[in-house]
Amino acid sequence: MSTTTVKRAFKYRFYPTEAQAAELSRTFGCVRKVYNLALAARTEAWKLRQERVGYQATSAMLTAWKKTEELAYLNEVSCVPLQQSLRHLQTAFTNFFAKRARYPRYKSRKKSRKSAEYTTSAFRFRDGELTLAKMVEPLRIVWSRSIPEGIKPSTVTVSQDSAGRWFVSLLCEDPAVQPLPPTGAPIGVDAGLYHLLTLSTGEKIANPRHERRDRARLARAQRGLSRKLEGSANRDKAQRKVGQVHARIADRRRDHLHKITTRLVRENQTIVIEDLTVQNLLKNHRLARAISDAAWREFRSMLEYKAQWYGRRVIALDRWFPSSKICSVCGIARDTLPLGIRTWMCACGTAHDRDVNAARNILAAGLAVSACGADVRPQRERPSRTRRSARKQENRWATGGIPAD
């Protein structure tokens, strides 16, 4: 078993005093200002002189900016979050040049996430109390769970969401995260909308549809926001109400996905999923809202990092693999299978549930990939002309269902 210690973030809610809230709000604004100034400087240097400006150069620029009369207010907050914002910009450019992300964008005062990151030189953590730089009193944190005993955080990130809630995230080494005992059980997972997940065992996990359940409440809050005057205090209150509804939806969705992914990782050694391009799927405007609510991308992200923590394996199949169209018994592939067809009869006489059949094909393809290589797929047999002529009759056999797979 691996002895590498996993770094894990422990997130808690806290309630700042008026002075702390004002200090953190100033810090958020300064972090955003420095990030935008550095991004503008790097963009201008490349456009005018074809010159690449790195972190060291922007750090020197920050020192010069603090000495100007216009930006002297940057000295009023801790310098560590400002330096960290330059490091984050450097990471954004590294991802851009590696073609993992698009060109960095400017941070907006209204839309961007409000956060500031502190390293060990900018905070004190002692006897369960956390005190940030430029502050006298420790933060009033609600310790909903304990951090590993004897472990001190390496970085602290303070943030405020659109609902006005304050959070602090402590990045610590967690020795309790160790690989689980091996189990030979593999499983295939098919993502859908009518059922959130369908497993190759035949089990179906319901889709809670959190956004749909709170859609009326969200619409009411947004109508109230649209009636408020731009720039008024009432508009800020209405905007916070909209943020509270969104936060309620996101919290419930995240909690549900955590429970599902933790269970899958604990019970199975190998988990096979499809490599879905959610960004392209969202171009279907009839299903875009339901796809966003399902949060398939977040599900995969959780599954992958938990599998890495606990010594499991996640295999992502090629996105073009026709898992729903292949008979998992005889290997015959259909030419078409509309979304409205939820069950179908194969020419070999096997009745298939669309999602269960897809999950079984995903598992078979994943095991082939694991054994032989990334391009291996289950053997497929093209149906004969006689079988193709019988396809219309098979489609009539299909029962109705919600066309949201």
Catalytic residue of the set 23, 117, 211, 274: 274
pLDDT in the model for residue 372? 61
Could you say which of 149, 174, 199 is where a domain stops?
174
Give the number of other Cβ atoms within 10 Å of residue 273's Cβ. 24
pLDDT in the model for residue 375? 43
Structural domain containing residue 40: 6-174
Helix (H, G, I), strand (E, B) or coil at 71: coil
Could you say which of 174, 197, 232 is where a domain stops?
174
The secondary element (H helix, E strand) that includes residue 246 is helix 233-267
Residues 314 and 363 in one domain: yes
CA distance 208 to 295: 11
CB 215 within 8 A of CB 298: no
Residues 293 and 199 in one domain: yes
Q: Please choose, from the candidates 137, 140, 126, the residue with its C-alpha nearest in 3D space to the C-alpha of residue 16.
A: 140
Residues 162 and 291 in one domain: no
Q: Please choose, from the candidates 205, 204, 191, the residue with its C-alpha nearest in 3D space to the C-alpha of residue 276.
A: 191
CB 206 within 8 A of CB 355: no
Catalytic residue of the set 117, 190, 293, 405: 190
Residue 20 counted as domain residue: yes
User: Is 129 a catalytic site residue?
Assistant: no
Counting Cα atoms < 13 Å in the Cβ hemisphere of 163 gives 15
CA distance 35 to 17: 27
Residues 130 and 154 in one domain: yes
CB 302 within 8 A of CB 383: no
Question: Nearest 5°: phi and psi at 135?
Answer: -125, 145
CB 52 within 8 A of CB 28: no
The secondary element (H helix, E strand) that includes residue 403 is none
User: Is 251 a catalytic site residue?
Assistant: no
The secondary element (H helix, E strand) that includes residue 206 is strand 204-206
Q: Rounded to whole angstroms, what are the CA distances from 135 to 23, 171, 183, 307?
A: 8, 20, 50, 39
CB 222 within 8 A of CB 242: yes
Residue 399 counted as domain residue: yes
User: Is 190 a catalytic site residue?
Assistant: yes
Identify any residues that bridge with 126 across adjacent strands, giving them in sequence order. Answer: 129
Residue 299 counted as domain residue: yes
Give the number of other Cβ atoms within 10 Å of residue 15's Cβ. 12
Catalytic residue of the set 117, 211, 293, 355: 355
Residues 116 and 11 in one domain: yes
Whole-structure pTM value: 0.83
Give the number of other Cβ atoms within 10 Å of residue 397's Cβ. 11
Residues 266 and 346 in one domain: yes
Residue 224 counted as domain residue: no
Residues 104 and 43 in one domain: yes
10-residue averages of pLDDT along the chain (405 residues): 75 96 96 97 92 94 95 95 97 94 93 94 92 95 89 94 95 90 90 92 94 95 95 93 95 96 94 90 90 94 94 89 86 83 84 89 85 48 44 39 39
Counting Cα atoms < 13 Å in the Cβ hemisphere of 309 gives 18
Residues 156 and 249 in one domain: no
Q: Please choose, from the candidates 232, 208, 235, the residue with its C-alpha nearest in 3D space to the C-alpha of residue 222.
A: 235
Reduced 3-state DSSP string for 260-293: HHHHHHHHCCEEEEECCCHHHHCCCCCCHHHHHH
**How many domains are there within the chain?**
2
Residues 137 and 198 in one domain: no
Helix (H, G, I), strand (E, B) or coil at 194: coil
